[in-house]
Amino acid sequence: MAYTIALAGKGGVGKTTIAGLLIKYMVNKGKTPILAVDADSNYNLNEVLGLEVTDTLGNAREDMKKGTVPSGMTKDIFISMRLEESVIETGAYDLIVMGQPEGTGCYCAANTILINCLERLSDNYPYIVMDNEAGMEHISRLTTKNVDVLIIVSDASRRGLQAAFRIHRLAAELNIGVVKSYLILNQTKDSISDEIMKLIKDNGLEFAGRVPEDDMIYDYDAKGKPTVEMSEDSKAVKAAFEIFDRII
């Protein structure tokens, strides 16, 4: 069974950047091979990792709906074939992307495909890092389950923290097999106030640490450079690695 780390949080808190730094950390520590999973319909983990996406599970599902399964091929075999085609291989880690189904409607079918694909792939990797979509839908749909470490990412705002606490409570209420949950505060300007620390403690979520604002991240993003290539001298990378040393 793969050691699985999932990331969650409200939109705009830098969750995907933290996911990329986690993958960078694990590669540096020799915790490979890793299956990186972008479970967000609005995917961009590939940009953090500097990889080009040529196919997604969402595309496979839409092709199946349109009846493009070759004659004589079952839907299960078709999805298995497209799953293999969707995996982007790099050596130390591979990436698979859920993607966005076309049009409007429920994402449940695409999520079901993702869950089934993870079950098929999990035996091939000792480590899985899953970057989930923003919010709580991935938990209510049970996309995130049987997780060794759930990293909930927030900024230091009350709205961000309240979203983090709701994610933590929902994961506990649904009993989806999360072994340990941690909170990382990202993009912080200053040290965390006593008031915020009390709020975190009162909500029963273990505080793993903070990652400060870093102009290098904004510079890489503006230039379209993969943030996974950032120097370890970066203050954000240093802070993130120190956190991962404690919790991974």
Task: Give the separation between CA 114 and CA 232, rounded to whole angstroms.
Answer: 33
| b/e code 71-102 from CB counts within 10 Å (16+ = b) | eeeeeeebbbebbeebebeeeebbbbbbbbbe
Cβ atoms of 135 and 129 closer than 8 Å = no
**Whether the predicted pLDDT of 147 surpasses 90:** no
Cβ atoms of 44 and 16 closer than 8 Å = yes
Confidence of residue 170 (pLDDT cuts 50, 70, 90): confident
Predicted local confidence at residue 161, as pLDDT: 96
Predicted local confidence at residue 6, as pLDDT: 92
Which tokens hold the place of 31? 């915790």
Domain range annotation of the chain: 3-247
Predicted local confidence at residue 210, as pLDDT: 98
Sequence-distant (6+) residues with CB within 8 A of 170 are: 136, 139, 140
Sequence-distant (6+) residues with CB within 8 A of 223 are: none
Q: Tell me which residue of 73, 87, 71 sits closest to 128, measured CA to CA.
A: 87
pLDDT tens-place string over residues 105-135: 455 555 676 677 777 777 889 999 999 887 6
Helices 235-247 and 15-28: angle between axes, nearest 10 degrees:
70
**Whether the predicted pLDDT of 101 surpasses 60:** no
Cβ atoms of 237 and 24 closer than 8 Å = yes
Predicted local confidence at residue 111, as pLDDT: 63
DSSP letter string, 29-54: TT---EEEEEE-SS--HHHHHT----
Mean pLDDT of 156-183: 90
**DSSP state letter for 70:** P
Output the CATH code of domain 3-247: 3.40.50.300
Predicted local confidence at residue 220, as pLDDT: 95
pLDDT tens-place string over residues 192-209: 999 999 999 999 999 999
Q: Are strands 93-97 and 88-89 parallel, antiparallel or unpaired?
A: antiparallel
Predicted local confidence at residue 42, as pLDDT: 79
Strand partners, 6: 130, 150
* Mean pLDDT across the chain: 87
pLDDT tens-place string over residues 3-31: 999 999 998 999 999 999 999 999 999 99
What letter represents residue 37's amino acid? V
**Whether the predicted pLDDT of 63 surpasses 90:** no
User: Of the ranges 34-43, 76-85, 139-148, 171-180, which one carries the lowest mean pLDDT score?
Assistant: 139-148
